Chains A and B, each alone.
Chain A
Amino acid sequence: MAILSPLALTFEPARVIHPTGGLSTEGIGIWVAALLTLMIYSFLYKDNPFYKTAESLFAGISIGYLFGTNYQPVFLPKVYLPLKMFVEKVVARQPLTTGDWGSLNVLVPALIGLCTLFPFIYPRLGWLTTLPFALIIGYGAGLNIPTNITAILLGQMEGTLRPFYQYSAWNPDPMLFLSSLLVLVGVLATLSYFFFSAEHRGALGVSSRLGIWFVMVGFGAAFGLTVMARVSLLIGRVEFLLHDWLHII
């Protein structure tokens, strides 16, 4: 155990050898994570090979992990295993049930999915890639439009106006009224700023100028929260280094 005597702090780095003998996977993991953290933060001094190595490792491992987590729970049980069972039954000349034939349904989405690979493996049939993308866009639009209209557009419109009829229904909370009024004025003023079908003069000019103030306040809040988030991540890494790796705190 080492002692940083001027600060009265002790530190004992995570062990890679287990006290009972043998390698500690947890200890190795902590050392790898700590060294990679330092390699990434070395960029703050200047670009260097350690940073590049950590960056490339991160990109490669992320893609590998993404492939693995989608291959195991999605491709294997949904595509590979049903088709394998069907083929095994055909080869063994076993009687096929309706369920077995039903497992061939998976061929339709699988083949459509494979079309995305044509531009890379057989460019002459590259146009087939439009088929899966058309399906994705159609599916996305179908799912998005009603969801956004009900949850975002109508939900938010109702939420903007609801406090007023709650207020009028003998719920005289002045703070609720004031904050609701501020929200309503902010919404109308901001919308007027984005109304480009008329020149921003007169009443519309005043309203749009007020709108830009609300937008700026919104940007300020978003920027402040972004700084807070990035600082939190930095604190998380430094805390990991001091607590889990060096055991100083």
Chain B
Amino acid sequence: MSFLDRLQKMDRRWVFLILAIAVTAPLLFPLGLKISPTSESLTFYRMVDSLPEGSVVMVSFDFGPSAAPELLPVSESFIRHAFRKNLKVITLALWPDGLPLSQDTPDNIAKQMNKIYGKDYVTLGYKSGIASVISQLGEGFHQTFPLDARKNPLESLPLMERVKNYDQVSLTCVLAAGTSIDWWIGIANGRYKENLVAATTAVMASDYYPYLQTRQIQGLLGGLKPAGEYQRMVDGENTPRMIRMLDSQSLVHLAIIFFVLLGNVGYLVTRNPEARRRK
């Protein structure tokens, strides 16, 4: 049996082991590869950065912990970016397991940046029925969420006194691990002309680039790499965790490309042994 034949029959657990090493090694010993922002990340950043002080932005947590590595960094950077620009932030969750993330993320950042709940940011909470909620928000925030996530009546919060519907929200950031983004595009942007930026998991990103081209969404971050670029623009050099993760991703991608090439070369060489023998 030749080397290539043996390679074709190799136990796939060896591949898992090599990938595990490729993931772990850069996390332990960072390579410090350069992170250069792409035009999509720059557009996303500029959309937030160009808003005048005091504008209201909304963040919808339509994902759960399973998509957190890709989307949580964006949510943290977006809220930090908004607070630094003195924007007012409203968070909500259209996925049930997004609820704790929509509460903890702004709370933790607000503590670091001395922002006050009710005045600088509000967490609306979770409500089921994605399309209905997005549609109802256009009619009125107070009817859709009579109470916030902390059980305060919405009219008792200073920030919500001036926010009635999408008209008072300058930009909505949709953090989506599912198809909720279709409803945001169809209803919030299509019907109510709300400006949208979105961060999606990489799996979904290719489906939403057409909406970026048509400006139905104004910015798109698809996956960990663009999330890292945006975080780098917001937080500068102070992103060691993200740098390590992107180093790790680059090395794993190299390993996968190597395996794809090796597998295809092996297949092409060994696919017709009878013909080779006859030659």
Interface residues of A (CB under 8 A from B): 7, 9, 44-45, 65-66, 69-70, 73-74, 143, 147-148, 150-152, 155-156, 158-159, 162, 183, 218, 221-222, 225-239, 242-243, 248-249
Contact = CB atoms under 8 A, between A and B. Distances in A.
Interface string B177-198: 0000011011101110000000
B184 to A, nearest CB: 10
Contacts of A234: 19, 23, 252
Contact of B202 (A65, A232, A243, A249): A232
B62 to A, nearest CB: 14
A65 to B, nearest CB: 7
A141 B56 CA distance: 33
Given A229-B202, A239-B241, A162 B214 contact: yes
Contacts of A236: 68-70, 245
B256 interface: yes
B27 A249 contact: yes
Contacts of B245: 232, 235-236, 239
B205 interface: yes
A71 to B, nearest CB: 10
Contact of B203 (A229, A237, A239): A229
B2 interface: no
24 contacts: A69-B97, A69-B126, A143-B135, A147-B183, A155-B190, A155-B216, A221-B206, A225-B206, A227-B253, A227-B256, A228-B202, A229-B202, A229-B203, A229-B223, A232-B69, A233-B70, A234-B23, A235-B27, A235-B248, A236-B245, A239-B27, A239-B241, A239-B244, A242-B28
Contact of B190 (A44, A147, A233): A147
Contacts of A238: 20, 23-24, 27, 248
Contacts of B111: none
B31 interface: no
Contacts of A73: 125-128
Interface in B154-183: 182-183
B88 interface: no
A145 to B, nearest CB: 11
Contacts of B183: 147
B96 A65 contact: yes
Contacts of A150: 186, 190-191
B249 interface: yes
A152 B186 contact: yes
Contact of A225 (B127, B191, B223): B223
Given A151-B216, A225-B203, A231 B249 contact: yes
Interface of B: prevailing SS: helix
Nearest to A179: B213
Contacts of B249: 228, 231-232, 235
B96 A225 contact: no
B70 to A, nearest CB: 5
Contact of A228 (B68, B182, B253): B253
B222 interface: yes
B224 interface: yes
List 10 tightest A-B contacts by C-beta distance, closest first.
A236-B69, A159-B214, A147-B186, A229-B202, A69-B96, A151-B186, A151-B190, A232-B224, A229-B203, A228-B202
A7 B28 CA distance: 9
B128 to A, nearest CB: 5
Interface string B54-69: 0000000000001111
B11 to A, nearest CB: 11
Contacts of B182: 151-152
B192 to A, nearest CB: 12
B214 A155 contact: yes
**A45, A66, A69 interface centre (most CB from chain B within 10 Å):** A69
A231 B252 contact: yes
Nearest to B202: A229
A236 B249 CA distance: 10
Contacts of B28: 7, 9, 242, 248-249
Contacts of A230: 203
A218 B206 contact: yes
Contacts of A44: 13, 16
